[in-house]
Amino acid sequence: MDLATVDELLTTTRSVRRRLDLSRPVPRAVVEECLTLALQAPTGGASEDWRWILIDDAEGRERIADLYRDGAHLLASSKARAKTAQSARAYADAEFLAANLHRVPVLILPCVRGRLRDGDTLRAASLFGSVLPAAWSLMLALRSRGLAAAWTTLHLNREREVADHLGIPGEYLQAALIPVAYPIGGPSFRAARRRPVSEVSCWGRWSLPAP
């Protein structure tokens, strides 16, 4: 295994929200190839209770984008609390994505069978843990093929309406919305600024300072 290539993939796969080629189609075959790889990810009980909705028609993207933008007030309030310049830029990029989501060539919704109950942390962790590894593998596979993607959740502000529009059965939970496009200027992404491991991890027992 070429560790340098793997390390580059892991450190440069970003949520790309602005530098997207909104006029270049994304072939269905490429998306399906990436999803085939993603389905090798671990899933709770080997159940494969995930389902994936792939949307590339203009009418479908427009409707999902309308519902997504209904959560823009949540984005604005989060932007106001941004603590760093990097975080503020990310929120600005997220606003751009919200305004242009209907133009993104492909939208992917990973879903998992099951519903959440208030205060049931075990249930929540089990459900999301059964689909999020595959969703992230999908983003890595897309990145390796020169595509950009983003991890978004604003549409969940209107989850029921999204489900009704797409015919998602009531026993399925939407985990995210992943817009997919080719990047403008090629896939030249950098590693992000992150805190060192020593500041965010500890061995044995919690010994970390308050944030």
CATH code of the domain in which 104 resides: 3.40.109.10
Which among 173, 169, 177 has a CA at the least distance from the CA of 129?
A: 173
Structural domain that includes position 165: 22-189
Residue 69 lies in a domain: yes
Residue 182 lies in a domain: yes
pLDDT in tens, 121-154: 998 999 999 999 999 999 999 999 999 999 999 9
CA distances from 159 to 52, 115, 124, 131 (A): 15, 12, 16, 17
pLDDT in tens, 27-41: 999 999 999 999 999
Residue 87 lies in a domain: yes
pLDDT in tens, 47-71: 899 999 999 999 999 999 999 998 7
Contact 144, 10 (CB under 8 A): no
Residue 184 lies in a domain: yes
Residue 211 lies in a domain: no
pLDDT in tens, 181-204: 999 975 567 888 888 999 999 999
Residue 146 lies in a domain: yes
Contact 152, 177 (CB under 8 A): yes
Count of the separate structural domains present in the chain: 1
pLDDT in tens, 71-103: 777 776 666 566 677 777 777 888 899 999 999
**pLDDT given at position 187:** 52
Residue 45 lies in a domain: yes
**pLDDT given at position 83:** 67
Contact 52, 110 (CB under 8 A): yes
**Cα–Cα distance measured from residue 197 to residue 51, given in angstroms and rounded to the nearest whole number:** 34
Mean pLDDT to the nearest integer, 9-33: 94
**Cα–Cα distance measured from residue 90 to residue 140, given in angstroms and rounded to the nearest whole number:** 20
* pTM: predicted TM-score of the whole model, two decimal places: 0.90
Residue 5 lies in a domain: no
